[in-house]
Amino acid sequence: MRFPVRPSGENFGSSEFLNIAHRRKTVAPHPHHSPSRDQKLDDDRAERSCVSASDPVGRFHVARQRGGRPIAVSAWRMTTEDRAVADAVGGLYGGVPQLLDTGDEYVVEVLTRRDHIPVLLGGRGAVSLRMVMRGAGETFHVCDGTRFLEPAGARGSLCGCPASLADRKAAAQAGRGPMPEVRIGFRLGDVPELGVFSLVSTSWELAAELPALTAGLDAAAVPARGVLRYELMQFTTLSGIAVSYRRPVIEVGRPKVLEQDAVRLAA
């Protein structure tokens, strides 16, 4: 099913975006099937675990699901429960809103044409990291890397995770430790009136970059201008195998890059 939207090459005026923001309907939050994976790790479970009463108006993803398998896309994918938000994102960044086949749930996706999105971040609190381990359909370890956050009975006690992120990654790959869940909340730099969007990622690389990101946010004015990238990574293993994947990257305070990103579409 398709919804009529303004052609992607045609711009909306600021007053029209304000009207869209005012017309947005309120939808009761509920978990929805919006699978995405980052470096072959399951971000879908991380995404659904973050649903709360303060749900964002939309979510950005690094992949989509097809036939039960994660499929990488060449540009940002956005899902929302609000048709007006989907129309606005499609009008800004290309892509036609499509209703997902999720049974009784109302979820719309937009496969944009943009791999760089200008964003606004509300300081250090816009970024968070927790370490999570799941199994047998349940979550049984949630910590901040040093102390437990969940379950409630263990909150504040030492979690036993290694101090370094490299050692945590080795433990996770061996099935003995939790995975990172990075959550970033942001507004679209082109139309902040739409509300707060989110990205939830299990990328170890993004987790490693968080100290530099939070330092940049501490030094920047609020809201901080940044850019959300969907970056192609390529390398060759020692055995000569070519490997490529895409991952999220977020940068703060690079005005020249932001000006270029405003007109750059994904190839």
118 and 261 Cβ atoms separated by less than 8 Å: yes
C-alpha–C-alpha distance, residues 171 and 148, integer Å: 17
- Give pTM, 2 decimals: 0.73
Query: Lowest-pLDDT range, 14-18, 141-145, 157-161, 228-232?
Result: 14-18
- Our CA angle for 95, 100, 104, nearest 5°, is 150
The count of C-alpha atoms lying within 13 angstroms of the C-alpha of 5, restricted to the half-sphere facing its C-beta, is 28
Token readout for 13 is 């005026």
DSSP category for residue 2: B
**pLDDT tier, 72 (very low <50, low <70, confident <90, very high otherwise):** confident
**pLDDT tier, 253 (very low <50, low <70, confident <90, very high otherwise):** confident
**pLDDT tier, 118 (very low <50, low <70, confident <90, very high otherwise):** very high
74 contacts: CB under 8 Å, gap ≥ 6: 115, 266, 267
Which residues, listed in sequence order, are joined to residue 250 by a DSSP beta bridge? 228
In angstroms and rounded to an integer, the radius of gyration of the C-alpha atoms of the chain is 19
Q: Is 9 helix (H, G, I), strand (E, B) or coil?
A: coil
pLDDT digits (tens, 9 = 90+) for 183-225: 999 999 999 999 999 999 999 999 999 999 999 999 999 999 9
More confident residue, 54 or 16: 54
C-alpha–C-alpha distance, residues 66 and 109, integer Å: 14
C-alpha–C-alpha distance, residues 55 and 20, integer Å: 19
pLDDT given for residue 64 in this prediction: 80
More confident residue, 187 or 20: 187
The count of C-alpha atoms lying within 13 angstroms of the C-alpha of 168, restricted to the half-sphere facing its C-beta, is 24
More confident residue, 32 or 239: 239
C-alpha–C-alpha distance, residues 41 and 57, integer Å: 24
What mean pLDDT do residues 11-21 have? 45
